[in-house]
Amino acid sequence: MPSGTSASGQDQFRNPEEVDLPGLYQLDHEAFGDIEGYPYFVLRQLFDIHRRDFLLLERDGILRGYALAVHSPGDVHASLLALGVRPEFQRHGHGLALLDAAVHHAKDAGARRMDLVVRPDNVSARRLYKRYGFRVGGFLADHYGPGRDRIHMSFVID
């Protein structure tokens, strides 16, 4: 996704550079915790493979959140692999701005549907996705291992 701004004109979106990896790792762990956050080597691999699919949100030079929506050419499905906002910047519209930018990025790449999984106890994220138009597709018991259930949600992109 090319760099740009949100509809509010205040948020700056851009793809990450290698120098952003330590800050992105820190943001990921602040947003998701040490257990749910990506290990550094996984984040590095995702960066190497999907750099153009990462979307960083900055305001006033501060990295506030990120999204990672991947799409394979020729496929109609995209996957939202991550959407995280630093705790101190949550409930300020950053999640919605990132989600909207990620959906548009996937649409521009040719996707017609976006899928994601979310923790059942992540009520604020589930509320955001539902408000955006995502629909629950099912419950995935132990999806990421024992006790790490997820809810599958999908969105039809117009």
- So what's the pLDDT on residue 1? 38
d(CA 145, CA 105): 30
Q: Which CATH class is domain 4-116?
A: alpha beta
Element (H, E) at 126: helix 123-132
Which residue carries 């991550």 as its tokens?
Answer: 82
Q: What percent of the chain has pLDDT over 70?
A: 92
DSSP secondary structure string for all residues of 85-112: E-GGGTTSSHHHHHHHHHHHHHHHTT-S
Q: Is the pLDDT of residue 134 over 60?
A: yes
**What is the reported pTM?**
0.89
Weakest mean pLDDT among 8-12, 24-28, 44-48? 8-12
pLDDT tens-digit series, residues 41-100: 999 999 999 999 999 999 888 999 999 999 988 889 999 999 999 999 999 999 999 999
The full set of domain ranges for the chain reads: 4-116
pLDDT at 9: 58
